[in-house]
Amino acid sequence: MSRFAAPIAEQIWDMKYRFKQADGTPIDLTVEDSWRRIARDLAKVEKDPTHWEQVFYEALEDFKYLPAGRITAGAGTARQVTLFNCFVMGTIPDSMGGIFEMLKEAALTMQQGGGIGYDFSTIRPRGADVKGVAADASGPLSFMDVWDAMCRTIMSAGSRRGAMMATMRCDHPDIEQFIAAKSDPARLRMFNMSVLVTDAFMEAVKADGPWELQFDGKIYHTVQARDLWNRIMQATYDYAEPGVIFIDRINAANNLNYVETIAATNPCGEQPLPPYGACLLGSINLARLVKNPFEAGAKLDPEALHQLVATAVRMMDNVVDASKFPLPEQAAEARNKRRIGLGVTGLADALLMLGLRYGSDEAAKQTGDWLHAIARAAYLASVDLAREKGAFPLFDAGKYLASGNMMQMDEDVREAIRTHGIRNALLTSIAPTGTISLYAGNVSSGIEPVFAYAYTRKVLQKDGSRTEEEVVDYAVQMWRDKFGDTPLPDYFVNAQTLAPADHVRMQAAAQKWIDSSISKTINCPEDISFDEFKDVYMLAWDLGCKGCTTYRPNEVTGSVLTVSESADTAPGERANAPHGTESGDVIYMSEPLDRPEHLEGNTYKIKWPDSEHALYITINDIIVAGRRRPFEVFINSKNMEHFAWTVALTRMISAVFRRGGDISFVVEELKAVFDPRGGAWVKGKYIPSILAAIGGVIEQHLIAIGFLEGEGMGLKTDPQAQVVNGDQPRGKACPSCGQFDMVMIEGCMTCRSCGHSKCG
């Protein structure tokens, strides 16, 4: 009998986490093989690996403990990959040589698949003097453009899309340009961006006082703090960025504030990290630990939770020793502090099983109680590890116990640390869990509310027919299994029907017992007023959150699938559809289409300047569901220097074409590749590389056959313009599977159909 609770869970495992040979032949024949592979690898560093392998396997079994995707996919494969998800890079020096050395380090880290965070506050502002060269500085935004181009280039060479976080202090002279940068939709698209907001700034905002913008002791401008705050609010109201990070609060609450200062986070914000810090993530699946769900005696099993947390801490501590690192500085940082980020997923489902409404006072209190129990169990487990294996190298009992979250920790835990030390400096964090939540049976993600109770994926088969596959939230499916078609109770709420204040209340309740931070998205209705929107951020500040990220659907950010209410349905449920089912006329080919014997196409010639031989590009098309779309591409040239990469490129592009969906992202990524040796002027237009030229040819072909609307534009027949329910538009197209099912979850655009995530 399959361990998977839903077909999509097995598909996610097969696509993302199943160990396979280079030709795609599976090595992990079952998910049990995957669990065994991970358990065996992480037990290797133990004195009794056989014993701990079985303990680790039992924790992984039935998706109770979910290591982050990098661990699940990489552990035990013997591949030269890092098991850490994200990194904050070194402090950027304010010099040309130092800046480009940091760029190189970023490229090396991203080449291994790590997301990165950077603080650009250390670069002098635009227009500042550059001594010795009689020039003015170009400012941090110009160098962020270089990072953005690097990320696109690295991404074009690998299967994982790049993820970066850029931060800037609220008192940097270029902060206004930083705030407005995302108003240009084509600029800095590989970055998430957040403003580092200080306590002093928030006090000035509340007092409507002046605020000095300065660098290296020099005051460049003085503005009104409230005006600058309103600029931040307007930008995120209009296009969802920048986020806000309360940086002084983060440093004050840091257990390691006696040896480090934090100025940046990983791409989703749940891990504020020092220079060269790395985030090691994993989640306890609370939905799997509830006894007697939906009954009067429903409760989360405290003994099972304590034991599972202890095992998870041990596994994560072993990852520090088992993992490889892109840079030696990252390895040293990880091993000196051994910080881990143990979090949760399935929180909203677990609350539903107890009959609690997400966002209510009772749910907030229960959330706090559960996370307090997790924090206690994690710290005590780390103390036991310190007794067995030693404390983290930079441990100083007096300074540690007087720092950060340790000041509020239970006294018996503090005494145990004082006596025995602690293995891991920081232990808790709540990360985005979109993909692993799908893998675990579509449990609710992280501490987010249930996004939708159910929705329908339409899968295109080889013969052109379509089959429908319902994807149901884990708790909703459990309710159906118990009670059949009985309507959902009124405490079932989802992300679209909750008031923003309910989101903030839950984030604040969770934050109290979280060492690091929380990745959480506060969904706001499109018609929320600007003043109400600003109140969300001020509430987050007042309730003690470490940061705030909102998502308000609009023409710039894109819309998300929503679920309407009616008198005949439970809150959040769609009329005339079972349990809030959503549907969309979207296409995803579960297997590549077979090639017909004859195809129609066109051949195009590219004559690249300074190249002896031209490139000839042939694109053949196929008719699917009455619509012409590209099926394969061939690139030919007499120049043998081009042979290997053109063959590889044609095979990869053709494979993408044959999978279906919106493949216009292929054009977008090719056109973004730049050649460090320089591009060329072709027909009066600058083309940054020969790959960009190929992308332009493919784009023109797609326009000619009616697949794209025009240059730089999306699908000619844009399904986003069609309606799903009443006047509610669809989400954006997924660049991986093509379904219009991209939603904002925990600060990350995530596809609910295939699990693709901007953040990995």
Tell which residue, 101, 152, 731, 69, has the closest CA to residue 435: 69
Please measure the distance between the N-terminal and C-terminal CA atoms of the chain and give it in whole angstroms: 30
**Rounded to an integer, what distance in angstroms lies between the CA atom of residue 597 and that of residue 662?**
24
What distance in Å separates the CA atoms of residue 67 and residue 420, rounded to the nearest whole number? 27
Q: From CA 500, how far away is CA 552, in angstroms rounded? A: 11
Contact 194, 244 (CB under 8 A): yes
**With 0-12 CB in 10 A as exposed, 13-18 as middle and 19+ as buried, what is 576?**
exposed
Distance, in Å, from the CA atom of 267 to the CA atom of 284, rounded to the nearest integer, reads 21
Q: Which of 229, 199, 302, 249 shows the shortest CA–CA distance to 511?
A: 249
DSSP 8-state secondary structure symbol assigned to residue 20? B
**Residue length of the chain:** 760
CB 90 within 8 A of CB 329: yes
Write the Ramachandran bin of 46: left for phi over 0, alpha for psi from -120 to 50, otherwise beta: beta
Please, are residues 344 and 373 in contact by the beta-carbon 8 Å criterion? no
Cα separation, 480 vs 504, in Å, equals 30
Q: In this structure, what are the phi and psi dihedrals at residue 199, rounded to the nearest 5 degrees?
A: -60, -40
| Residue 266 annotated among the catalytic residues of the structure | yes
> How is residue 208 written in tokens?
């409507």
State both tokens at 313. 């801490």
| Cα dihedral: 399, 401, 402, 408 (round 10) | 160
- The owner of tokens 């596959």 is 469
Question: Is the separation of the CB atoms in 588 and 737 below 8 Å?
Answer: yes
Catalytic residue of the set 86, 268, 748, 754:
268
- Of these residues, 192, 251, 255, 266, which one is catalytic? 266
270 in catalytic set: yes
Residue 743: other Cβ atoms inside 10 A: 24
**Closest residue by Cα to residue 13 from 43, 40, 37:** 37
Q: Distance between CA atoms of 680 and 614, rounded to whole angstroms?
A: 14
Q: Distance of alpha carbon 170 from its chain centroid, rounded?
A: 24
CA nearest neighbour of 116 among 85, 145, 93, 94: 85
Q: DSSP string spanning 366-403?
A: HHHHHHHHHHHHHHHHHHHHHHHH---TT--HHHHHTS
Write down the catalytic residue from 53, 270, 333, 746: 270
Check if the beta carbon of residue 540 is closer than 8 Å to that of residue 563. Answer: no
Joined together, the tokens standing for residue 710 give: 């025009």
Q: What is the DSSP string of 561-587?
A: ------TTS-TTPPTTSGGGEE-----
Cis peptide before 242 (omega within 30 of 0): yes
Cα 44 to Cα 55, 341, 422, distances in angstroms: 13, 21, 22
Contacts of 285 (CB under 8 A, 6+ apart): 63, 64, 65, 66, 344, 345, 346, 440, 443
User: Alpha-carbon distance 312 to 310, whole Å?
Assistant: 5
Residue 268 is among the residues annotated as catalytic for this protein: yes
Select from 517, 90, 510, 402 the least CA-distant residue to 263. Answer: 90
**Tokens found for residue 26:** 């599976």
Q: If residue 544 lies in a helix (H) or strand (E), which one and from where to where? A: none
Q: Which residues are catalytic?
A: 266, 268, 270
